């Protein structure tokens, strides 16, 4: 296993040095790829992103920002749709898994942390705050937070979907209107 770690570290170092050395070539290639992609390709990218985001402790925000930065308007749309789909998928998986845990009368650490966070505020507000809080990886990232809310069953499906669609909208809108720019 130790050899695998060294191989991965070497690959990451090589990739970093290649990117730093050939910054213009990499950007030009990414721009060319993004201009030649079809709508179906962006749909597939959005679905893959949503599946990755549904997994707890995956850095979903960073992946979404990369989509927006690399692919422009289509990437903004793919990241937003993928975020809403991924968080909803994690929520509904949490509801299914929550049935098992309520039968066992066990609380997971992530559920305990979210209950402690949302002790003084309504659940829907704590959901919006946790999703948008920097460092939400403590709570499991977006997928872990959504899954924990599903396991808790204190938020209805309609409230969850409404809060998620509104809480994840500000960053794509800021990128779209040019308040946040990634590539000069």
109 in the same domain as 22: no
CA-closest candidate to residue 142, choices 47, 58, 51, 46: 58
19 in the same domain as 58: no
> Structurally, how many domains does the chain consist of?
2
pTM for the structure as a whole: 0.76
Q: Write out the residue range of the structural domain in which residue 15 sits.
A: 1-36
Q: What size, in residues, is the chain?
A: 184
167 in the same domain as 104: yes
135 in the same domain as 44: yes
21 in the same domain as 44: no
As a whole number, the mean pLDDT across the chain is 80
CA-closest candidate to residue 48, choices 88, 96, 92, 85: 85
CB distance 126 to 117 below 8 Å: yes
Q: Is residue 48 part of a domain?
A: yes
Q: Can you tell me the distance from the alpha carbon of 74 to that of 93, in angstroms, rounded to the nearest whole number?
A: 28
Q: What is the mean pLDDT of residues 100-119?
A: 67
Give CA separation, 156 vs 14, 48, 80, 108, in Å.
48, 26, 22, 20
Judged against a pLDDT cut of 80, whether residue 150 lies above it is answered with: yes
pLDDT over 70, % of the chain: 84
Q: Which tops the pLDDT comparison, 41 or 23?
A: 41
Radius of gyration of the CA atoms of the chain, in A: 19
């Amino acid at each position: 296993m130790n050899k695998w770690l060294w191989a991965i570290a070497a690959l990451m170092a090589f990739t970093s040095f290649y990117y730093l050395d050939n910054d213009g070539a990499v950007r030009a290639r990414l721009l060319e790829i993004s201009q030649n992609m079809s709508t179906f390709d962006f749909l597939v990218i959005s679905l893959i992103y949503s599946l990755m985001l549904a997994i707890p402790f995956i850095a979903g925000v960073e992946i979404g920002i990369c989509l927006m930065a690399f692919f422009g308007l289509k990437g903004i749309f793919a990241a937003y749709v993928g975020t809403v789909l991924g968080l909803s998928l994690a929520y509904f998986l949490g509801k299914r898994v929550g049935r098992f845990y309520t039968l066992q009368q066990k609380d997971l650490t992530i559920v305990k942390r979210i209950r402690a966070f949302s002790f003084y505020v309504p659940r829907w507000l704590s959901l919006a705050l946790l999703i948008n809080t920097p460092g939400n990886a403590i709570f499991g990232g977006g997928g872990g937070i959504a899954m924990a809310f599903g396991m808790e069953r204190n938020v209805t499906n309609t409230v969850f979907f409404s809060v998620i669609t509104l809480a994840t909208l500000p960053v794509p809108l800021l990128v779209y209107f040019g308040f946040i720019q990634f590539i000069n």
